[in-house]
Chains A and B, each alone.
Chain A
């Protein structure tokens, strides 16, 4: 079991899982970040389950980052610890959180990292334009009919 230290953040929930499946499609670990405001949200766990249904060989690390308490873009991120992970940041029940999270995802992609914003289509306007323009495929809408396909496509890359 691998424990990651992310700072500064509050650990609302930490899920570390490892399962195995013959059909491995990716050699990267996956980081699922929960930035939803609602503490009872099930969306991050749903994403974890979906990822597992594709590839049980992945090590998935899940934790909470408060976009409200965050002071600067990516102040929670350390490239030394997380550089080789696919990132899926789940957000969407708070407009400001979505806006700030989209800044994080843009910065991560600018650094050449494999980071995705997972939100709802009604939040599209809150996503910073340069993320929409330069990294469109790194935005996944949970209410999109093609969401599962898009998620699996991003995992397989």
Chain B
């Protein structure tokens, strides 16, 4: 039997946050308040996923968006997910499967409480945006069994051959027109208005522009942001319930100005322990982080002067830095294109190209892969990705393993050892290059 032991350390020092992080936290808290107040306000709730999140469309029906992955992350950060995962395993879910799912199921079994301590409302509809992850399909079948509510499947074909075909777009648009929209109309009682969708999409584009500028600010030396640990804060609103809103436009403008200011002052990222010291290593990271020891994990990087300048995880809810923007002139087609293009819906060769490109564009010292035990969508093939990126860039790569929200699979000592060895490897590589020059 596995027991989770929580160490009885002194309470951690309050993390330092820049103003945008505080603002982001307020936005997320407000959203959880809206969600948990739904029984009183009469708002209807749709549960859906981050990759393939159709927030603009959802807002057309005055529905509130609830994202189970984000809830699992919150439970990971709050150190609740471990007991939820165990609870799910106790009621018959395999130890081998996705811990987001088990955290969600376990949370339901233990009262279904949101981060604000209030009960989550039952969803009125499950929008199964089946994009880039097989588990999503089973996850919502499992939730449907519990909630006995209507479920809409939106199937996003996989970009196996590295391209979006007309057949894929036609298939998705037809699903949107004939399955998704009519069902959302029926559940919500709100008639679909395509001009309303266009307005939301226009707003999305503005926020997307600013997000890309923020992420690309990491090309500077030193980078004013950490595009992985800090990036997770930045993507929260746009990957969640805010894409297409004025709040998102305001937030990303604010964030951009804040980052510009840091850039102008030649400052590095803000870490939970304050401004980061001298930037020594610039990394590209592939894969999600561990959330149960998020701060400890991040500290292993900034203590060594390592900053992440680009990451694939911050593209899991949409890839914007290669030019895609939601297009209000093709409202349904653009939603289809968005879903098709999210990171985990891209073929392995496309993912390798992206990472290789990041290393070159952001002048990174190498690639680090955080391989997640329970996420096959990300993890299957990562060892080959590592070798390919190394081969193409000549930069060293390293591999660590952990899990999203299962604390049993976060071994701090192991990860720290590997990271330290990796940083030494980068130093040796640099020394080799200097000697050769």
Task: Say whether A associates with B.
Answer: no
